[in-house]
Amino acid sequence: MIRLIKGFHDILPEDTPKWDFLVRTAKATLEAFGYREIVPPIMERTELFARGIGELTDIVEKEMYTFEDKGGETLSLRPEATAGILRAVVEHALLRQDPILKLYAIGPMFRRERPSKGRFRQFFQVDAEVLGDDSPQTDAETILAAYCIMENIGAQGLMMEINSVGCPVCRATYREVLRNYLEPHLSVLCDDCRRRYERNPLRVLDCKVDRCVEIAAKAPLISNRLDESCREHFDAVKRSLELVGVPFREEPRMVRGLDYYTRTAFEIVHEELGRSKAVGGGGRYDNLIKELGGPEVSGIGFAIGLERLSMGIPDDDPRFARSIDVYVAPVGDNALNACFTVVNALRRAGLSCEARYTAKSLKSHMRAADRCGAQRVIMIGEDELARNEATVRDMTTKEQTPVKMDELVNFLLGEKR
RNA sequence: GAGGGCGUAGCUCAGUUGGCAGAGCACAGGGUUGUGGCCCCUGUGGCCGUGGGUUCGAGUCCCACCGCUCUCCCCA
């Protein structure tokens, strides 16, 4: 037996109704916000991710599926969606047609990490981006869109956490302030944080090691070091969120894993799973589009992990139950052809329809009908054939009605309405 | 990368001091000559992860390997 790749997973037929519900709800919500779908490929040149996400990030350094193809180019499976979307936007000059773009994409991402609960090597994300608008209301609206997806799906116990990581200017000054604070504690920090001190001291604030948390707790906060425009922007974002009633919590130590974020950063956190298992996250990026060869415009976006979102909602919701309009049961070999034509006619009339072309016992048929969630069963046996009829059973009320073959489609369509 | 747990029927798992391979669910048939869910009966279904070792005898003890899973780091 050949088994699936570690960290990958099959979505089985019993799970697809729920999965489909998540995807459809996310799409409908985003389209209600005016986003349009874009479908970039799942592979890009490695350089795109290195430039976009940052050479020094864990993702690019050690988690990408990278290989050389037969033509000698170095390609990577996408570890996140934003870089590919922006590449497409720049390549097709979409911002020239429309100075403000709102785009979303849904599909699998790939990161070669150690799998664990809620963490996969292939995982699906819903990803949304707004380009060309850096108003605080747009930040708030983006966070609202993420929140509405959750709300429409019915996820419980979720909280929006927000922070501002400043612009490159105020972040540079803050970085030095933070370094100065951390320096005397260097010997106490964990190995990782000592490395972070050199390369990206902001990440120390996000460390989960006890003694680092202690030190980080007393560290100066970037919220006190934002320059005037960043501060005003962040305050305006918070006011806008309050206007529309999005529940949020300021999290001054939140830092995101991707290098490109500026100003607003946010995460959607499950109260029970904690911050290490964010359901979604995102933020503003002021320089990324230019970095990828596009115009100097700002963007903001977020990603929601579908597997993690799925974990938060029950599997046994009646909406996810298997269901079909009609099951057609032949009783006796003579009924097989009659059933075959009936099924065909019903499907052409738009009814979902299941049949078994084996003249098993009626009891077996009924069990099969029940299993596939049939609303009605059409029984055709010797008695019915003799009268050119079929017997229609309503599986909920158990009511049975003899119906002439010619009238079957109309009868079922009429009953359905 | 570091550290735990677990591999027995399609699924979830029992399996005693080492002594005939088990249950529930699912599936098939029947109880009801043509009527589902609940109930009852019967049946199908196993390289006990793989390889070696100890033993008269190993699902059980020992060793190695493989696989899965969870935690940490990081993230969706």
Mean pLDDT of the region A128-156: 94
A270 with A140, same domain: the answer is yes
How far apart are the C-alpha atoms of A399 and A392, rounded to whole Å? Answer: 8
Our measurement of CA A2 to C1' B51, in angstroms, reads 20
Query: Using one digit for the tens of pLDDT, what is the confidence trace for A404-415?
Result: 999 999 999 985
A127 with A236, same domain: the answer is yes
A245 with A294, same domain: the answer is yes
Question: Would you say the C-beta of A270 is within 7 Å of strand B?
Answer: no
- Tell me what pLDDT residue A416 has: 52
Is residue A199 one of the residues assigned to a domain?
no
What is the DSSP-derived secondary structure letter of residue A227? Answer: -
- Tell me what pLDDT residue A270 has: 80
CATH of the domain at A47: 3.30.930.10
Mean pLDDT of the region A273-285: 81
How far apart are the C-alpha atoms of A311 and A308, rounded to whole Å? Answer: 5
Our measurement of CA A204 to C1' B62, in angstroms, reads 47
Question: Would you say the C-beta of A399 is within 7 Å of strand B?
Answer: no
pLDDT at A8 over 70: yes
Q: What percent of chain A has pLDDT over 70?
A: 98
3-state secondary structure A397-413: CCCEEEEEHHHHHHHHH
pLDDT at A128 over 60: yes
pLDDT at A417 over 50: no
Our measurement of CA A363 to C1' B61, in angstroms, reads 51
Query: Using one digit for the tens of pLDDT, what is the confidence trace for A157-202?
Result: 888 999 998 888 888 888 888 888 888 888 888 777 777 787 778 8
- Tell me what pLDDT residue A415 has: 57
pLDDT at A259 over 80: no
Angle at A144 between CA A276 and CA A284, to 5 degrees: 65
What is the DSSP-derived secondary structure letter of residue A252? Answer: T
Query: Using one digit for the tens of pLDDT, what is the confidence trace for A63-79?
Result: 899 999 999 999 999 99
Mean pLDDT of the region A225-229: 90
pLDDT at A233 over 90: yes
Share the mean pLDDT of chain A. 90
A270 with A342, same domain: the answer is no
> Which residues, including other chains, have CB under 8 Å from residue A247's CB and lie 6 or more apart?
A159, A160
Query: Using one digit for the tens of pLDDT, what is the confidence trace for A310-361?
Result: 988 888 888 888 999 999 999 999 999 999 999 999 999 999 999 999 888 9
Whether residue A111 contacts residue A66, with contact meaning beta carbons closer than 8 Å, is answered with no
Query: Considering only A55-64, A136-145, A305-314, which range has the smallest mean pLDDT?
Result: A55-64
Q: How many domains are contained in chain A?
A: 2
Our measurement of CA A213 to C1' B76, in angstroms, reads 23
Report the interhelical angle of A136-153 vs A16-32 (nearest 10°).
Answer: 150
pLDDT at A210 over 80: no
Our measurement of CA A117 to C1' B15, in angstroms, reads 30
Which pair of structure tokens corresponds to residue A236?
A: 């305006």
Residues 106-145 of A with CB under 7 A from strand B: 111, 113-120, 123, 125
A239 with A340, same domain: the answer is no
Is residue A358 one of the residues assigned to a domain?
yes
Mean pLDDT of the region A92-100: 96
Q: Show which positions of strand B are touched by protein (CB under 7 A).
A: 1-2, 27-32, 34-37, 67-76
- Tell me what pLDDT residue A275 has: 61
CA A411 to chain centre: 41
A272 with A398, same domain: the answer is no
CATH of the domain at A384: 3.40.50.800
Is residue A203 one of the residues assigned to a domain?
no
Question: Would you say the C-beta of A363 is within 7 Å of strand B?
Answer: yes
Our measurement of CA A5 to C1' B52, in angstroms, reads 28
Our measurement of CA A6 to C1' B67, in angstroms, reads 10
A134 with A268, same domain: the answer is yes
A243 with A380, same domain: the answer is no
- What Rg do the C-alpha atoms of chain A give, in angstroms? 28
- Burial (0-12, 13-18, 19+ Cβ within 10 Å), A194: middle
What is residue A91's three-state secondary structure?
Answer: helix
Question: Would you say the C-beta of A80 is within 7 Å of strand B?
Answer: yes
User: What ipTM does the predicted assembly reach?
Assistant: 0.86
Residue A130's alpha-carbon distances to A36, A70, A124, A134, A165, in angstroms, are 10, 36, 20, 9, 19
- Tell me what pLDDT residue A164 has: 92
Nucleotide nearest to A371 (CA to C1'): B36
Q: Which domain holds residue A339?
A: 322-416
In one-letter notation, the amino acid at residue A390 is A
Our measurement of CA A231 to C1' B62, in angstroms, reads 67
Residue A329: beta bridge partners?
A379
A136 with A25, same domain: the answer is yes
Q: Which one of A282, A311, A340 terminates a domain? A: A311
Q: Which one of A251, A281, A311 terminates a domain? A: A311
Q: Which one of A280, A311, A342 terminates a domain? A: A311
Question: Would you say the C-beta of A257 is within 7 Å of strand B?
Answer: yes
A297 with A335, same domain: the answer is no
What's the pLDDT band for A208 if we cut at 50, 70, 90? confident
